[in-house]
Amino acid sequence: MKERFLVSGGARLQGAVKVSGAKNSVLKLMAAALLAEGTSTLTNCPEILDVPLMKDVLEGLGCTVSIDADVVRITTPAHLTPDADFDAVRQFRASVCVLGPLTARCGRAVVALPGGDAIGSRPLDMHQSGLEKLGATTRISHGAVVAEVEQLRGAHISLDFPSVGATENILTAAVLAEGRTVLDNAAREPEIVDLCEMLNSMGAIVEGAGTSTITIDGVEKLHPTEHAVVGDRIVAGTWAYAAAMTQGDITVGGIAPRHLHLALSKLKVAGADVETFENGFRVRMNRRPDAVDYQTLPFPGFPTDLQPMAIGISSIANGMSVITENVFESRFRFVDEMARLGANATVDGHHVVLHGIDQLSSTEVWSSDIRAGAGLVLAALVADGVTTVHDVFHIDRGYPKFVEQLQQLGANIERAF
């Protein structure tokens, strides 16, 4: 039988947790290590399932990868295999981030179209268009995206949407291109800044990280480096909403509060007491939250990865909330599972309207993606009785020691087999 979580509602979460490195950064940094021959070391890596999955991808390309707790070492050979095969890539979406580095290093990349979370289509059009602006030819062939080029050359590229993935692949290709690349409407996420800092420590010349215009002056060669992964703002945000939903008191360390400014501001509006520090924050709530409206947007907007937590808190809030999803069209699949828990929710296109109720009711629910799974656990914490959360392998892909940390905070949760 597949693993599942058994969650008993009613506990008030309190205590302290420290987040590790960001899932949405570490996998891209591992791929960036392909750009330089030799051994690169990443520290503060999260102990999640996706890290060994990326290890498999890189080893299939010819690298040697070791994982020791929160330290990952990647030794990249002089000559890489440019084909990322289906078996390694199919399990998670982030594997497509090897496309840019392989194109830059090998002049050719064949990356099987990846799998991952069921949150909607995420086409590679902007990835391909960006590489084509840099001089590559691309096509989809036999279930893989293929890129080929003799010499990448700098270009002016403007993205239709500030796609994180497209920004990353263009960045990791342009650092070895001839000349200057200017990338307009680039993604501004902290994980993009983290990638740019690692690239610069490898000898790249990247300016403008964290703004909508990034300038890259290509260099002939990069060298290995050591880099600490930025703290995971989505895990930190999950703990923040857990505190507010359970009328708890949680201090979160290992994260820059500015990376969660809007998410924490929403909790203040809902009635929480939020205190920020240099490398963390504290969220306290002593009453039922007030209803707040949310709309997901690229950074610095409200993160789509925290949308399930917004729905969770809105389901028990005092009043009516409207949540608008502007990033992934299928993320409201989560609402069907929340309805099983008794949430009064109505989906209308890209919007969901929630009328908060006093308490959710326990039942069996199924995770469809990493964040939906975590959101269901938070909802189960404010339900009566015992809720069974199935398909928890999704949660393990993004949350290190999730059950153990919840237990330390006072939650009544256990992993069952």
pLDDT digits (tens, 9 = 90+) for 115-168: 544 444 457 899 999 999 999 999 999 888 999 999 999 999 999 999 999 999
Same domain, 123 and 249: no
73 annotated to bind ligand: no
The residue annotated as part of the active site, out of 117, 194, 232, 369, is 117
228 pLDDT higher than 60: yes
The domain boundary residue, chosen from 228, 262, 282: 228
Same domain, 207 and 239: no
The encoded tokens of residue 210 equal 């964290």
Q: Region 259-264: what's the mean pLDDT?
A: 98
Residue 211 CA, chain-centre distance (Å), reads 19
User: What pLDDT was estimated at residue 121?
Assistant: 45
Number of helices followed by number of strands (H, E) in the chain: 14, 26
Which domain does 379 fall in, by range? 4-19+232-416
Distances (CA, A) of 128 to 111, 124, 173: 12, 6, 12
User: What pLDDT was estimated at residue 115?
Assistant: 56
pLDDT digits over 309-324, tens only?
999 999 999 999 999 9
296 touches 307 (CB < 8 A):
yes
Can you tell me the distance from the alpha carbon of 380 to that of 377, in angstroms, rounded to the nearest whole number? 5
The domain boundary residue, chosen from 169, 204, 228: 228
284 annotated to bind ligand: no
Same domain, 408 and 303: yes
The total number of structural domains that make up the chain? 2
Same domain, 210 and 272: no
CATH code for position 61: 3.65.10.10
User: What pLDDT was estimated at residue 113?
Assistant: 82
Same domain, 105 and 13: no
Q: What is the DSSP string of 212-242?
A: SEEEEE--S-----EEEPPB-HHHHHHHHHH
Q: Describe the crossing of helices 164-174 and 99-106 by its angle, rounded to 10 degrees.
A: 20
What pTM did the predictor assign?
0.94
Same domain, 167 and 92: yes
**Residue 321 burial by Cβ neighbours in a 10 Å radius (0-12, 13-18, 19+):** buried
The domain boundary residue, chosen from 170, 200, 228: 228
266 annotated to bind ligand: no
- Which percentage of the chain shows pLDDT scores above 90? 89
Same domain, 49 and 103: yes
Q: Among 114, 178, 127, which Cα is nearest to 157's?
A: 127
Same domain, 201 and 265: no
65 touches 59 (CB < 8 A):
yes
Single-letter code of the amino acid located at 193: V
50 annotated active-site: no
Same domain, 212 and 271: no
User: What pLDDT was estimated at residue 14?
Assistant: 98
The encoded tokens of residue 113 equal 């179209």
Q: Region 15-25: what's the mean pLDDT?
A: 97
Can you tell me the distance from the alpha carbon of 267 to that of 243, in angstroms, rounded to the nearest whole number? 10
User: What pLDDT was estimated at residue 2?
Assistant: 85
169 annotated to bind ligand: no
Same domain, 94 and 53: yes
User: What pLDDT was estimated at residue 86?
Assistant: 73
Same domain, 171 and 304: no
User: What pLDDT was estimated at residue 328?
Assistant: 75
User: What pLDDT was estimated at residue 227?
Assistant: 98
Same domain, 9 and 79: no
